Amino acid sequence: MAGRKIIVGSRDSKLAVAQSKLIMAQIAKAHPELELELVTMKTTGDLILDKRLDQIGGKGLFVKELDKALLEGRIDISVHSLKDLPMETSPELPLVAFSGRENPLDVLVYPEGASCADQKLPLGTSSLRRELQVKEIYPDWRVESVRGNLQTRLSKLDSGQYGAIILAYAGIARLGLKNRISRVFTADEVIPSAGQGIIAVQGRAEEDYSFLDCVNDKNSEMCAKAERAFVTYLDGGCSSPIGAFAEISGDEILIRGLYYNEETKEYHKGRETGKISDGEMLAVTLAKRLKDGK
């Protein structure tokens, strides 16, 4: 691989670039013989900010331009937050590595300098999954949609448009903003989005990506596959109000899930535990049970 150049594709948001650079640093450390170049681009999902994602076609809008660049050979790999990827990926563009997982939980963020939230102002979130669950905790707090990249959401919060907003811990941490976190929700309070906290690397079929062995984390990969199996069984894209979170302890895996019935507007939570090797099967078992209302 000496002298080989790897072109890495990323969305152009500050968080996406920071995550891509984390992956590139791992590759550079393990393979100093490789030349790495970062190419950024704005996606359709970054441009439409006045509507919730489930209203405009889902989170596939965040990958369309990068997928096209991969297929055309303009980039060699693309780097994504796994939670932003559609459940169905093209056989031509497989997921080829899963990073070690940052804290996967959701967090509450107050306006900068505030010691409490003004609940007369709305609670901001771009996710129906978060909205459903947080209403159990704050039943009287009005929830409104907030779109944009992490900096844009924080700016809207700090300018007085919201009393607080809900974000992923991972994004806050990777931008060095953990001091902004006011509350970390437990996985039982707010089940995270499938893949939250994991960075995924996408490549082209039948190419040699052995240089990514230094990036891939087996526990993350097994958890990611179980979580995505849960969502896939329920026929939910990334914009669906479905939550899935797997944790590995010893040789066991615990899977939490949230299923939302679009027709009845009801949702159910549950969990399954078993052997790690049965992770995807356990996830499907849980999905079936919750869909049946059990």
| Cα–Cα distance, 294 to 286 (Å, whole number) | 9
Closest CA to 162 of 223, 109, 210: 109
Token pair for residue 137? Answer: 């905790």
From the list 126, 121, 145, 49, the residue with the least C-alpha distance to 83 is 126
> Is residue 84 among the annotated active site residues?
yes
Cβ atoms within 10 Å, residue 240: 22
State the catalytic residue, choosing from 67, 76, 84, 106: 84
Distances (CA, A) of 194 to 25, 155, 236, 286: 25, 27, 11, 14
Nearest to 274 by CA among 256, 252, 289, 290: 252
- Residue 215 in contact with residue 239, Cβ under 8 Å? no
CB atoms within 10 A of CB 23: 23
Active site residues: 84
